[in-house]
Structure 1
């Protein structure tokens, strides 16, 4: 059983486990390359409008389909240019599976670009931080105060190279909140997790949330800054980002639900000084991303 968060009907088409055509091979290879081979699904809009991203959950505490339906519809109503649009949901009672369906974001995650490609310029890092702070601030105004497991994998890049926030974590956060009294799932701490992302952007390091405060404690910006930047960054701006990260990491209680307003305003000011082209993707990737037949990396 499933439903739509929009007026467009959805059909779900699992990709074959073994490639059958050149297009299938390319689609499956993309999924495997991004580390998501355990979710070998693509989705196609019934109006033939292209691929969608499908996130599959199994053995979840969401035993009541109404939790998923109500939460998905609520998040599907949100509209922001930095938020990946949630399109639909589906649940299979026999197999205990829950599916969420969203727009396609073709240009990788922040995690891949920071921790694997390692080629993101400083100005783009500031841009990403500002855009994610912007969409989280929007979510706060929309009374969506929680985001489940906010990480660099939750940040996706659209076909123009702009950073967007996956909507999957918002649905999971609402369901987690509804179920929290029963002790099944804990909600995420948005400001703290955003602070971890700022540390990721500064250092280029993939760290667990519990390590973030210890990593930056008592360290100078020259000790922390990502060596892959090769010195091409503003020390003054990086120091500001470090200060903002420290402020967010102080919000380590479960009740903290949104980024302090001064953090958002400071990032906006930095972004204004760092206007850069949207995309830093190499030419070949830009060409591949423009193809409507290529699926997105799925965000956890």
Structure 2
């Protein structure tokens, strides 16, 4: 990856052949806000702790922000919905009432162009936001740190249009301010469509009223006043346009110098050579330069950006996952023997595989025991587990449930394998809800253990939750493949 200068011939930037910004107030591009998304909800700390497997480091998807420290985790609620949980440092939001009120306002927004805010949690020192989970990473990953192929020009154009539509939608709903608009704030959903993170719509400062910024390239007015305005967001949008043109994070001042000198070759990603026209590059650079005007009032608004970018779109009928080079969610890796057994609901085969695997996957689970536990309670728990394993081998599933329950309730040790075995026993006794609970507990104990996901799939199939079961099956397959690659 790089930008060594393409052979594009610079075009005159003051050409009047095409108007870059249409200053119209009636552009009819309403973003769909009537989506099948649950209403804003206040979650308990325990719900989010369980969803993220105890805020496991294995579930961290990002952590950044020197001025507003926070960590984002992926998680899964009891209803199997995938979520992203942002955990703030308390000092970012010392007053709980302001935090909840602000979250509720952002939670009223619903758009297909946003990674929507589903809820929050405010308990004691905890400040947590819950949003839709976007599985295909960030724009920064696909634009700056790609592995197999650079982002196609048609996809770059789609990204900026979706982003402009998201900003226009938020502005129309009274949320024109977006904090730290950058390539890490743009995410890709299960269909690889770009979405704007809702987290940037939250005020992010100690007093809950003013704004701070972690942007590398701050708007000029922020340097003067310490505050951002709707026009400041447009400035950051212009910086993102430069990112997408160049494939690099270029300082706006340097980019504007290149534009002034008509040196488009140095500004254009060399990976795009032969795949874009001079007109497209010129038009996008014109838009970027308008957005980066020093005086805020000289910058375009979000609605006019939508109108201009809509005219530039390419390959509009091609699905985003093809443009981005990501296998669609309907495609999956081959199923292993356990995955096949769960997909067929073959409980007998699942039993045979679990019996063969034994307890080898419990080795990484830490169990701290006092001397008293070793001498008394520990002995009782181990005896319950031993008898449970014996009845499990004999396929006496009702007895196994009782004995494994004694072991779990004893609290002397934690075993994901026992949870999985009891889950299967519940399935054998036509208790799918209890089976799902146990399989999810196994994942809480061991977040990246593929067998826990497989048993969740089996339980979900039994509950008639076909789509959720298929998702759990794919998750188990992906975790197993990752594990096999690490071992091999």
Query: Normalised by the size of structure 2, how large is the TM-score?
Result: 0.49
- Name the SS for the 1:108 alignment partner: coil
Among 264, 268, 276, the alignment partner of 2:310 is: 268
Other-structure match for 1:22: none
- Alignment partner of 1:39 is 2:71: yes
Aligned positions, number: 276
Structure 2 residue corresponding to 1:6, chosen from 29, 40, 65 = 40
1:123 maps to 2:165 = no
Query: Which residue pairs with 2:179 in the alignment?
Result: 148
Distance 1:210 1:175, change over 3 A: farther
- Residue 187 in structure 1 maps to residue 223 in structure 2: no
Match of 1:15 in 2: 53
Instruction: Provide, for residues 242-283 of structure 1, a one-character-per-residue CA deviation record: whole Å limited to 9, x for no partner.
Output: 000000011654x89973543221101112675532213445
Q: Is 1:234 matched with 2:277?
A: yes
- Contact 1:57 1:99 (8 Å CA) reproduced: yes
Distance in 2 between residues matched to 1:61 and 1:261, nearest whole Å: 32
Question: For residues 61 and 166 of structure 1, what CA distance do their matches in structure 2 show?
Answer: 18
Q: 1:133 to 1:41 in 2, by over 3 A?
A: closer
CA change 1:41–1:125 in 2 (3 A) is: closer
Partner SS for 2:169: helix
Could you list the runs of 5+ residues in structure 1 that have no partner in the other structure? 20-27, 296-300
Distance, in Å, in 1 between the alignment partners of 2:254 and 2:131 is: 31
Match of 1:78 among 106, 109, 113: 109
Q: Within 2, Cα distance between the matches of 1:210 and 1:93?
A: 45
Q: Given that residues 146 and 173 in structure 1 are in contact (C-alpha distance below 8 angstroms), is that contact kept between their aligned partners in structure 2? A: no
Q: Give 1:234 shift.
A: 2.0
Change (3 A) 1:58 1:217: farther
Distance 1:17 1:141 in 2: 36
> Quick check: 1:131–1:164 contact (8 Å CA) kept in 2?
yes
Change (3 A) 1:126 1:218: same
**Conserved 8 A contact 1:190-1:259:** no
Q: State the Cα deviation string for residues 56-78 of structure 1 (Å, max 9, x = none).
A: 22153421112211111111111
2:130 pairs with 1:101: yes
RMSD after superposition: 3.7
Cα distance in 1 between the residues matched to 2:312 and 2:318: 12
| Aligned partner of 1:138 among 169, 185, 190 | 169
Contact 1:15 1:40 in 2 (8 A): no
Unaligned runs of 5+ in 2: 1-37, 65-69, 212-224, 334-469, 479-488
CA contact (8 A) 2:86 2:129 kept: yes
- Secondary structure of the 2:308 match is helix
SS in 2 for 1:270: coil
- In terms of fraction of residues, the more helix-rich structure is 2
| Alpha carbons 1:148, 1:172 under 8 Å: kept | yes
Alpha-carbon deviation of 1:177?
7.3
| Structure 1 contact 196–212 (Cα < 8 Å) conserved | no
Asked if the contact 2:98/2:208 (under 8 Å) is kept, the reply is no
Larger radius of gyration: 2
